[in-house]
Structure 1
Amino acid sequence: MSPDAAPAPDYIHRTGAPPGFKTRHIWIGAVIFIVWFGVLGFVLTHGRNEASSVDVYSELPSGFTGSLEAQGLTYQGLSPVDPTTQQQALAHVPSTGTDNGGKPLVFRTSYTKSHGSGQPGVATPALMIVVPHTNGTGFHVDFVDPTSYQELASADITGSG
């Protein structure tokens, strides 16, 4: 190869942007990057209705979990529901009257009903509705399907506040 010959194409390295790439593409990409992470940061720091900070377990009556377990029902993972879901769930349970000793509670959860010989059942997603008895000496618990509001299981607990 003579010294005046052009180098082979394998040895030619382009510098700069790829063909068809413009400087405005860098600016557009930078703006999208900044907006994306700005929105992400805002969403992560501003919760919707601050519902995640609510301690729903403190709303349950004392002795609730133990009384329910005595009847073969367990639950896990309580979370609050929106007012529309609460109204729909309460509309599908039997009427409790106006003087029921307190406000009915509705939670999203999963429940398990144990089968006779101590065998645990399968965890089923449900809405748990806790309605205080009229005389204030117990409560009624319904587990209903979260979409059809059909009753899945229920229990009457007496002697708890």
Structure 2
Amino acid sequence: MSPDYVHRTGAPPGYKPVHLVIAVVVFICWFGVLAFVLSHGRNEASSVDVYSELPPGFTGALETKGVTYEGLSPVDAATQQQALARVPAVGNDNGGQPLVFRTSFTVAKGSGQPGTATPALMVVVPDPRGTDVHVDFVDPTSYQPLKTVEYGGTGPSSTP
């Protein structure tokens, strides 16, 4: 018979028993790590609670202006600096620490109908006295302001 028709039996050329042992160890480690990752972190609070950084009554105040947001997440320092550099300056009496978050916002259309969700960076500048809050929604790529909302003691205002 020719060698093409003969089926070789046994281990392939170059095979050593240690290869099987290594494969089994890698297989066990892979599933061990997978089991560990999946079993940890359940029912635990997020390590970053960005909602607690917002001023009291923030969500309700924006909703009265017809603006809703969802999905807050923190941004890196470079993105924060870019957003703050392009946002129009607020009044001189406002020395609050600005907060910058990644989110999407919706502006209610006429008769209370919701608009389209727009991805944005939300820049929140609270007044240190706790009376006024200035909010800018900024485009995440061009850093151009999309919507500005102010509420608090100086009288509510909202601009498109």
- TM-score higher than 0.5 here? yes
Which amino acid letter does the alignment assign opposite residue 132 of structure 1?
Answer: P
> Secondary structure at the residue paired with 2:111?
coil
Q: Are 1:68 and 2:62 counterparts?
A: yes
State the TM-score, normalizing by the size of structure 2.
Answer: 0.71
Q: How far does residue 133 in structure 1 lie from its aligned partner after superposition?
A: 4.0
Q: Are 1:84 and 2:78 counterparts?
A: yes
CA contact (8 A) 2:87 2:144 kept: no
Matches within 5 A, 1:1-161: 19-20=12-13, 21-34=15-28, 36=30, 52-96=46-90, 100-133=94-127, 136-159=130-153
What corresponds to 1:10 in structure 2?
none
CA contact (8 A) 1:86 1:106 kept: yes
Of 63-72 and 77-86, more deviation after overlay is shown by: 77-86
Q: How far does residue 24 in structure 1 lie from its aligned partner after superposition?
A: 3.0
CA contact (8 A) 1:100 1:136 kept: no
Q: How far does residue 107 in structure 1 lie from its aligned partner after superposition?
A: 1.0
CA contact (8 A) 2:125 2:134 kept: yes
Of 77-86 and 61-70, more deviation after overlay is shown by: 77-86
Q: How far does residue 42 in structure 1 lie from its aligned partner after superposition?
A: 8.0
> Secondary structure at the residue paired with 1:25?
helix
Q: How far does residue 45 in structure 1 lie from its aligned partner after superposition?
A: 9.4
Of 37-46 and 27-36, more deviation after overlay is shown by: 37-46
Q: Structure 1's 98 and 38: CA in aligned 2 closer, same or farther, altered over 3 A?
A: farther
CA contact (8 A) 2:136 2:147 kept: yes
Which amino acid letter does the alignment assign opposite residue 26 of structure 2?
Answer: I
Q: Structure 1's 65 and 43: CA in aligned 2 closer, same or farther, altered over 3 A?
A: same
Q: How many pairs are equivalent? A: 143
**Root mean square deviation of aligned Cα:** 3.4
